[in-house]
Amino acid sequence: MTVKYTKDHEWIAIDGDVGTVGITNHAQEQLGELVYVELPEVGAILEVGDEACVVESVKAASEVYAPCSGEVIAVNEELADAPTTVNEHAEGDGWLFKLKLSDAAELDEAMTAAEYKKFLKELEE
């Protein structure tokens, strides 16, 4: 399984033609405690870069974008009652939705873990 990262601070774990999407630990740190997650609808067809769902902290609502085109085949229902799972396990149990990828080649440009780490370091400077 490969994990890729976007400049908008999403991660996508690719397993065959299914990608599991969430926000990165860096993103949750920046947002602070989440109070609401608006998930996409199962069956929704997303193009790469589309607004897929919304995560809301006390301060603000932030869009999460689709890192790759595809169909939403599952959403993390548990987040409805426990949005802070995203804060506790952003890159694990706090996943947001699963996509059936229509063109995994779109992810060729996305960053590897090492590249994302370097990207964050550059942001800080």
Partner 1 sequence: MTDAAHEGPLKKVPLADFHRTHGAKMVPFAGYEMPVQYPAGIIDEHNHTRAKAGLFDVSHMGQAWLHGAHAADALERLVPGDIKSLAAGQGRYTTITNDYGGIVDDLIVTGHGDKLFIVVNASRKHIDFPLIADAVGSEGELELIEDRALLALQGPSASKVMAHYVPASQHLLFMHGADLRINDIPCHITRSGYAGEDGFEISVPTEAALDLAELLQSEDDVMPVGLGARDTLRLEAGLCLYGNDLDEATTPIEADLRWTISKRRREEGGFPGADRILREIAEGPTRKRVGILPDGRAPARAGTEILAADGSPAGTVTSGGFGPSVKGPIAMGYVAAALAKPGTPLRLLVRGREIPATVVALPFQPHRYHRV
Alpha carbon distance 14, 99 (integer Å): 9
Per the CB < 8 A criterion, the answer to whether 4 and 112 are in contact is yes
In angstroms, give the least distance from the CB of 70 to partner 1: 22
In angstroms, give the least distance from the CB of 37 to partner 1: 9
Among 18, 49, 56, 62, binds partner 1 (CB under 8 A): 56
- Residue 50 lies near partner 1 (rule: CB under 8 A): no
Which 27-46 residues touch partner 1, going by CB under 8 A? 32-33, 35-36, 38
3-state class percentages of the chain: helix first, strand second, coil last, to nearest 5: 25, 40, 35
In angstroms, give the least distance from the CB of 58 to partner 1: 4
Binding residues for partner 1 (CB under 8 A) = 32-33, 35-36, 38, 54, 56-61, 80, 83
